[in-house]
Structure 1
Amino acid sequence: MRLFSIFGDPISHSRSPLMHNSVFKTLNVCACYSRTHLSDGAKLREVFYAKGLSGANVTVPHKEAAYEQCDEVRGIAHTIKAVNTLVLEEGKLIGYNTDADGFMRAIESFGPLQNALILGAGGTARALSIALRQGGITPSILNRSHKRLEYFLTEGFDACTWDDFTAAPYDLIINTTSAGLNDNELPIPRLLLTELLSLSKGAIDVIYGKETPFLREIKISGLPYKDGSDMLLAQGVLASYLFLEGKFDKDAIEIPMKQSFSL
């Protein structure tokens, strides 16, 4: 039996085991997918091999650490410098990023977009900023501190902290932080968020399966919004396609994976 897992901190909320195990069962693949709580991202590679995994997904806050520990990185993950999907290939750890394509599919329902504001500066923010720019949408990044903004500034993005940011109109506001996942926090100060929502056209939270404080504020504002479920599904299909070495059509993977959301 082939073994797969998802690494993160926190991890108990993850729907990934349900999604991937549904695919394995439907397609008669002898495999099992589990959760692995990992507090120290530097130990990801060690734990991956110790558990005898064939592949894994990586969620917050370890996507950048995963990138550093791969033997080889492919596709857009090169530019993003963050990995959310790992595949064992001839004993080597190969890294991919499926967040970018998954997100672009998820925001199609918002219609044409010119610009977007990304809240947070972690691995997910990196993936989305590159994907948006490649899709002809201008992203800006807003983070609590300067610490993680160096990557974005080096890549030529407009990136600010709360202290040096001036609210402006955006077609889409994107929360990539973990605020609201296991607490009742907003990703940015309430007054600033309220001002941004009064100027903007829509919002999305990459957190899924719960109404975060961020989403509650969006509802009050009356703006179009969605949580991270569509992105989760789209990136999951791509990850499963990689896990199964392209032996199954993506449509065949998406059907049982989408059905798992109703379980």
Structure 2
Amino acid sequence: MFLIFGNPVSHSKSPLMHNYFFKKSNIKECYGRYKLENGEEIIDKFKELKIKGANVTVPHKEHAFKLADEVRGIAKEIGAVNTLVEENGKVIGYNTDAPGFLEAVKEFEYESVLIIGAGGTAKALSLVFPNAHILNRSEGRLQYFRNKGLKSFTWDEFKTNSYDLIINTTSAGLSDDNYPAPQNILKELFSKAKYAVDVIYGKETPFLKLAKQYNLKTKTGLDMLVYQGVLAMELFLGKELDKKKTAEIYFEILR
């Protein structure tokens, strides 16, 4: 048994894609959703449910990092975990968001990157975009990025620069019609950019709708979802998969 922890979590397509993969691969497993209100309970709940593995979505990635019995790979640098796996009675944390995102934008030609938001996903992406700038509503979470030498700004202090790729890592637009930053800032950014990517999938957010008005090439978080899912499945099964074929199975059910 596998599942995804999140809040909200009803929108998640992870059960659809992973269960389809199990069926197509003749693997007798199942994958469900769990709405977790209190992130402090994530590891206790994992053990209580006696599951083999789980994905973690907003807002619990940092709780998973802090509370996992052990954290491996780039998750240690990021400070956020999106995949949990049971191993000899311990819960091990990993992060597949960053490599999954890189795979999703591999056909884009860009040099400068702006990441909007400062949560777990933004931390993950800052590791694979080491020269990115960060834009966030408030000051609090920006210290992490500044400690790593990344230029970081709040809305109030931001002076619009020119960026090729603009990424929204916030939940703005997931269950509302909000933008991840003030419209005047976004409009100026989009007037100079080439690409806009939202990590939210399953809908076209106001962020992406606005980007299209400026003729930017856009992507939802679907490709990121698929490629991080392939990497997570390798961890769940404890073996390397044919990544291309596995991704094709996921896209088959999602598109």
TM-score > 0.5 by shorter chain: yes
Report the equivalent of 1:57: 55
- For normalisation by structure 2, the TM-score amounts to 0.97
Report the equivalent of 2:182: 189
- Equivalent residues of 1:143, 1:161 under 8 A apart: yes
Q: 1:247 to 1:159 in 2, by over 3 A?
A: closer
In 2, Cα distance between equivalents of 1:254 and 1:225? 20
Q: CA deviation at 1:29?
A: 1.4
Q: Match of 1:186, SS? A: coil
Deviates more, 1:164-173 or 1:26-35: 26-35
- Alignment equivalent of 1:66, drawn from 55, 64, 67: 64
Deviates more, 1:120-129 or 1:43-52: 43-52
- For normalisation by structure 1, the TM-score amounts to 0.94
Q: CA deviation at 1:27?
A: 1.5
In the TM superposition, what are the counterparts of 1:199-210 in structure 2 within 5 Å? 199-210=192-203
Report the equivalent of 1:126: 123
Count of residue pairs brought into register by the alignment = 255
Q: CA deviation at 1:249?
A: 3.4
Write the deviation string for residues 57-98 of structure 1: whole angstroms up to 9, x where unpaired. 001111111100111111111110100000000011111100
In the TM superposition, what are the counterparts of 1:27-176 in structure 2 within 5 Å? 27-111=25-109, 113-133=110-130, 138-176=131-169
Q: Match of 1:242, SS? A: helix
Report the equivalent of 1:9: 7
Q: 1:48 to 1:216 in 2, by over 3 A?
A: same
- Equivalent residues of 1:75, 1:96 under 8 A apart: yes
- Alignment equivalent of 1:255, drawn from 228, 248, 251: 248
Q: 1:215 to 1:247 in 2, by over 3 A?
A: closer
In 2, Cα distance between equivalents of 1:60 and 1:140? 22
* Counterpart AA for 2:189: L
Q: Match of 2:129, SS? A: helix
Instruction: Give the aligned CA root-mean-square deviation in angstroms.
Output: 1.1
Q: CA deviation at 1:110?
A: 1.3
Q: Match of 2:170, SS? A: coil
Identity of aligned pairs, percent?
53
- Equivalent residues of 1:104, 1:132 under 8 A apart: no
Structure 1: stretches of 5+ with no match in the other structure:
none
* Counterpart AA for 1:105: E
* Counterpart AA for 2:111: Q
In 1, Cα distance between equivalents of 2:151 and 2:223? 27
In 1, Cα distance between equivalents of 2:88 and 2:242? 23
Write the deviation string for residues 228-255 of structure 1: whole angstroms up to 9, x where unpaired. 1111111000001110111643344323
Q: Match of 1:183, SS? A: coil
In 1, Cα distance between equivalents of 2:244 and 2:234? 10
Q: CA deviation at 1:123?
A: 0.2
Report the equivalent of 1:227: 220
* Counterpart AA for 1:11: V
